[in-house]
């Protein structure tokens, strides 16, 4: 029951089902603000009991700001603004813990979590801006402490240098992790695009293959004293090979056998063009096979580019006198 309550709280009102990354950010920001708010309140009360009134008051004030941030996040779903508020409050918390934390020295623990959230919530570019601001805060506090100006931090220069070097190492690890993650996402997106493109191409090939099957004779034909049969199967599903036969009149049968250069859809388009020229001209005119080839060649030169050519044969069989002209 408790698990369901927590899950519903962290994910409710998000309305981000279509974007898994934004939904994840929403849940993390939501959970982090709740945990941070609880910690800051408890720690603030504890410091008030220890007579650290300034530190305790600042922490309770920070907790109230976190609560306001939670309400705004769940009302507006503005993750970018909520993330910026969290990062700003973390810096404020770090400053208060360092300056007013006496000898507890609890501020460094929070500062190591800052680069993690900065990169996650803001990405590489904006994350770097926040981290640079983090280093500016560290250096400013160190200089002010060394000059005894307003604040005095309980850390030595050596500890601050170690802190900066450690944070730098964390930043470099996070930076390369973000680069690898972005590269992986880009590869996955490219793979997805390639898969979609391949699926579209397969669908186009399937459609072209079905169309081509309709254009090529599917059954054997008997024309009195002659029968014609054929079988066709393209190497790539769709090709430029073509054959056809039909009766011109009661005595003559026209046959064409063709092989277009290239395979796939481009070859099929040329094949369809040749078929159209052949069937539209043979029945209308009393022409010879050589004249038919001449007509096809002229039409192909008009309609196609020089990238395609075809090898073809045209036959006319006369059933009456049983002669073959080609």
CATH code (residue 312): 3.60.40.10
pLDDT score, position 190: 77
Is 230 a residue whose pLDDT tops 70? yes
What is the count of structural domains for the chain?
A: 2
Whether residues 57 and 156 share a domain: the answer is yes
Q: Is residue 30 part of a domain?
A: yes
Res 306 pLDDT > 60: no
Mean pLDDT of 321-326: 84
Residue 210 falls inside a structural domain: no
Task: State the virtual CA torsion across 4, 6, 9, 12 in degrees, nearest 10.
Answer: -40
Q: Does residue 155 sit within a domain?
A: yes
Q: What pLDDT score was predicted for residue 176?
A: 74
Q: Please state, in angstroms and rounded to a whole number, the distance separating the CA atoms of residues 149 and 257.
A: 97
Instruction: Let me know if residue 259 belongs to a domain.
Output: yes
Q: Which of 180, 207, 234 is the last residue of a domain?
A: 180
Structure confidence at residue 218 as a pLDDT band (50, 70, 90):
confident
| 135 and 277 inside one domain | no
In a domain, 276, yes or no: yes
**CB-side exposure of 113: number of CA atoms within 13 Å?**
14
Per-residue confidence band for 7, with pLDDT thresholds at 50, 70 and 90: very low
Q: Among 207-211, 261-265, 312-316, which stretch is predicted with the lowest mean pLDDT?
A: 261-265
Which is higher by pLDDT, 38 or 132? 132
Residue 211 lies in a domain: no
Token pair recorded at residue 80: 């970018």
Same domain, 158 and 261: no
pLDDT at 4: 44
The answer to whether 90 and 113 have CB atoms below 8 angstroms apart is: yes
> Last residue of some domain: 180, 205, 240?
180
What pLDDT sits at residue 223? 77
Q: Are residues 232 and 99 in the same domain?
A: no
Average pLDDT over residues 138-151: 82
Indicate the burial class of 223 (C-beta count within 10 angstroms; 0-12, 13-18, 19 or more): middle
How confident is the model over 188-203, as a mean pLDDT? Answer: 76
Does the pLDDT value for residue 300 go beyond 60? yes
Residue at which a domain ends, from 158, 180, 202: 180
Is residue 66 located within the same domain as residue 170?
Answer: yes
Question: Which stretch of 78-87, 169-178, 234-243, 317-326 has the lowest confidence by average pLDDT?
Answer: 234-243
In angstroms, the CA 198 to CA 184 distance is 21
Asked, for residue 265, whether it belongs to a domain, the answer is yes
Find the domain containing 246 and state its range: 221-325
Q: Give the pLDDT of residue 264.
A: 61
Residue 263: its pLDDT value, please?
A: 61
Of the pLDDT bands very low, low, confident and very high (cuts 50, 70, 90), residue 78 is confident
Over residues 9-34, mean pLDDT = 58
221: pLDDT strictly greater than 70: yes
Structural domain contains residue 185: no
Check: pTM over 0.85? Answer yes or no: no
50, 131: one domain:
yes
Distance CA 288, CA 316 (A): 8
Pair 138, 275 in one domain:
no
Regarding whether 239 and 156 lie in a shared domain, the answer is: no
- 161 and 300 in a single domain? The answer is no
By the 10 Å C-beta count (0-12 exposed, 13-18 middle, 19+ buried), 238 is classed as buried
């Amino acid at each position: 029951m408790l698990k369901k309550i927590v899950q519903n709280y962290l994910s409710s009102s998000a309305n981000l089902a279509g974007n898994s990354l934004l939904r994840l950010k929403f849940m993390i920001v939501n959970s982090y603000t709740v945990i941070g708010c609880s910690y800051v309140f408890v720690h603030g009360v504890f410091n008030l009991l220890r007579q650290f009134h300034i530190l305790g008051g600042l922490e309770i004030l920070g907790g109230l700001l976190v609560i306001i941030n939670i309400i705004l996040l769940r009302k507006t779903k503005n993750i970018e603004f909520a993330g910026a508020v969290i990062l700003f409050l973390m810096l404020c918390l770090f400053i208060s813990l360092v300056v007013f934390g006496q000898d507890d020295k609890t501020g460094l623990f929070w500062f190591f979590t800052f680069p993690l959230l900065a990169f996650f919530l803001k990405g590489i570019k904006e994350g770097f801006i926040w981290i640079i601001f983090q280093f500016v805060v560290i250096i400013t506090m160190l200089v002010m402490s060394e000059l005894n100006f307003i604040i005095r931090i309980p850390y030595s220069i050596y500890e601050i240098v170690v802190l900066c070097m450690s944070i730098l190492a964390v930043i470099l690890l996070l930076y390369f992790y973000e680069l690898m993650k972005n590269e992986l996402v880009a590869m996955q997106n490219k793979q997805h695009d390639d898969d979609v493109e391949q699926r579209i191409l397969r669908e186009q090939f399937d459609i072209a293959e079905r169309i081509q099957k309709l254009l090529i004779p599917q059954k054997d034909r008997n024309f009195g004293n002659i029968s014609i049969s054929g079988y066709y199967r393209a190497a790539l599903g769709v090709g430029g090979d073509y054959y056809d036969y039909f009766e011109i009149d009661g005595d003559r049968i026209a046959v064409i056998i063709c092989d277009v250069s290239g395979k796939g859809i481009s070859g099929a388009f040329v094949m369809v063009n040749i078929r159209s020229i052949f069937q539209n001209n043979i029945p209308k005119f009393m022409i010879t096979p050589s004249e038919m080839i001449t007509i096809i060649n002229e039409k192909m030169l008009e309609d196609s580019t020089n990238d395609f050519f075809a090898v073809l044969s045209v036959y006319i069989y006369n059933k009456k006198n049983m002669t073959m002209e080609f």
